[in-house]
């Protein structure tokens, strides 16, 4: 098929997510390998967002491809009630990589329904209704996950379902209060959350749901002691602590799961993306042994036609084995250190860079009009002059492929990226930030 036909079909028959449909101009991709993609004219693009922060092992991973082929020769599908070798093996491998309090896995199709089922499980387990989640969060765009979401992508679902309560993130860069230390900030945010739980009726709160590290809304890394403080609130009031690891899990932060960086053990973990790296779609919910035991004698009222799809689980088994055999976590920490170094150099050089945040290969550049006032380059939820679109377009012209959200440029390359490739690609960002500097001067 020609590039013209691919583009025509895409624009004529396909509704593209998060986009006004008029004027779309997709790049037809002919092939992809590792961290690179090529269009039909032979131009190379570097995937610096791991597509949607899910293609952790890059394109063309032979081990995963072969595992899918091998499973397809046996059978492609069995309903969830049958014993399936890859489903059971993958569940075992995931639990083995979790903390020692975790017990079982319920598989879903992706991240949104993983979060929806995590909430259902918490409500069934506690007998309570209310669920807390943060304003700067994205948990999916289906009805339940969209109500859980805090940022503007929840607006089309409003008025929403009852029982979803929002609270503020520990977003120190944008906090008006002058905290002397991270610990002081954590104490403040945790105390306000505890107060809000009490005001909402602690006996009515089933779960507190958090992206362990806020993803598309700015890679906001929790300050020292924050997650431990939330864990104490959950323990005090019998609330289920749910960590959404859909984006941050499976090596992205330099640990297998992001919560390992903060010495906490969740009760429920939702996951997707990096479990198969998009080779076949898959998500899931890991629950504690205590919650798993509850459903020994209580009905688990959760079900999906494609729960634990054999092809997806075979891909997942091969993917987790590859993480281990290729020593991916070691590479994330080495290449992540270079990425952090490059980001801090950009912050020191460019007036438009208000803040940079990086953990492993998970990072964001926050752009401002004024460093002193911290006024964002674009207002919250809006980009009337298309500034961020122009910057992402300028990066695309250099073959650097990523996306923006609010006033942030997200940089989360595949976990196989080398230190040399990081430096090569970040030099392109340096050039494009000259444009951001000019935008900031004009205000």
Residue 23 lies in a domain: no
**DSSP 8-state class, residue 161:** -
pLDDT of residue 181: 96
Which of 280, 303, 325 finishes a domain? 325
Which of 325, 350, 367 finishes a domain? 325
What are the pLDDT digits (tens) for 96-141?
999 999 999 999 999 999 999 999 999 999 999 999 999 999 999 9
pLDDT of residue 179: 95
Residues 368 and 241 in one domain: no
Residue 394 lies in a domain: yes
Q: Which pLDDT band, with edges at 50, 70 and 90, does 57 fall under? A: very high
Which of 293, 325, 357 finishes a domain? 325
**pLDDT > 90 in the chain, percent:** 98
Residue 197 lies in a domain: yes
63-78: average pLDDT? 98
DSSP secondary structure letters along 281-310:
--EEEEEEHHHHHHTTSS------TTTT-H
E strand or H helix at 167, and its extent? strand 164-167
Residues 231 and 93 in one domain: yes
pLDDT at 307 over 90: yes
Average pLDDT of every residue of the chain:
97
Residues 313 and 334 in one domain: no
Show the domain range for 227.
63-325
193-201: average pLDDT? 98
Residue 105 sits in a domain whose CATH number is 3.40.640.10
What are the pLDDT digits (tens) for 249-263?
999 999 999 999 999
Are 102 and 288 in contact by the 8 Å Cβ rule? The answer is yes
pTM of the complete model: 0.96
Residue 284 lies in a domain: yes
Residue 85 lies in a domain: yes
Residue 7 lies in a domain: no
Residue 427 lies in a domain: yes
Residues 6+ apart with CB under 8 A from 133: 139, 148, 149, 150, 164, 165, 166, 167, 208, 209, 210
Residues 75 and 53 in one domain: no
Residue 42 sits in a domain whose CATH number is 3.90.1150.10
Number of structural domains in the chain: 2
Q: Which pLDDT band, with edges at 50, 70 and 90, does 443 fall under? A: confident
The region, left, alpha or beta by phi > 0 then psi within -120 to 50, assigned to residue 437 is alpha
Are 332 and 254 in contact by the 8 Å Cβ rule? The answer is yes
């Amino acid at each position: 098929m020609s590039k013209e036909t691919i583009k025509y079909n895409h624009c004529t028959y396909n509704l593209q997510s998060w986009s006004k449909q008029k004027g779309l101009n997709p790049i037809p991709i002919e092939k992809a390998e590792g961290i690179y993609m090529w269009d039909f004219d032979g131009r190379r693009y570097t995937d610096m967002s791991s597509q949607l922060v899910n293609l952790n092992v890059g394109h063309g991973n032979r081990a995963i491809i072969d595992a899918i082929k091998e499973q397809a020769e046996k059978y492609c599908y069995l309903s969830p009630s049958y014993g399936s070798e890859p489903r059971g093996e993958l569940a075992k491998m995931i639990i083995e990589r979790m903390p020692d309090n975790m017990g079982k896995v319920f598989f879903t199709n992706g991240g949104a329904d993983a979060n929806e089922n995590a909430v259902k499980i918490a409500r069934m387990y506690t007998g309570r209704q209310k669920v807390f989640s943060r304003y700067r969060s994205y948990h999916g765009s289906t009805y339940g996950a969209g109500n859980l979401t805090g940022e503007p992508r929840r607006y089309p679902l409003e008025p929403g379902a009852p029982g979803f309560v929002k609270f503020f993130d520990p977003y120190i860069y944008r906090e008006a209060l002058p905290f002397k230390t991270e610990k002081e900030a954590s104490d403040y945010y945790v105390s306000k959350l505890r107060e809000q739980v009490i005001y909402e009726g602690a006996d009515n709160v089933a779960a507190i749901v958090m992206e362990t590290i806020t993803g598309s809304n700015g890679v906001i890394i929790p300050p020292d002691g924050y997650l431990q403080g939330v864990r104490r609130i959950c323990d005090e009031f019998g609330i289920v602590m749910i960590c959404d690891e859909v984006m941050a899990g499976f090596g992205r932060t330099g640990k297998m799961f992001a919560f390992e960086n903060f010495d906490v053990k969740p009760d429920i973990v939702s996951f997707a993306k990096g479990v198969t790296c998009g080779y076949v779609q898959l998500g899931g919910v890991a629950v504690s042994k205590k919650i798993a035991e509850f459903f020994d004698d209580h009905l688990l009222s959760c079900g999906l036609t494609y729960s634990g799809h054999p092809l997806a689980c075979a891909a997942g088994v091969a993917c987790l084995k590859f993480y281990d055999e290729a020593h991916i976590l070691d590479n994330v920490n080495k290449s992540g250190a270079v990425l952090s170094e490059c980001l801090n150099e950009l912050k020191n050089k460019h007036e438009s860079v208000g803040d940079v945040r990086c953990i492993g290969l998970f990072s964001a550049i926050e752009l401002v009009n004024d460093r002193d006032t911290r006024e964002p380059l674009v207002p919250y939820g809006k980009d009337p002059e298309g500034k961020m679109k122009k910057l992402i377009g300028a990066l695309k012209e250099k073959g650097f492929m990523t996306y923006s959200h609010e006033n942030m440029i997200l940089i989360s390359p595949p976990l196989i990226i080398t230190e040399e490739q990081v430096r090569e690609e970040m030099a392109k960002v340096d050039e494009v930030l000259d444009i951001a500097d000019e935008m900031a001067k004009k205000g």
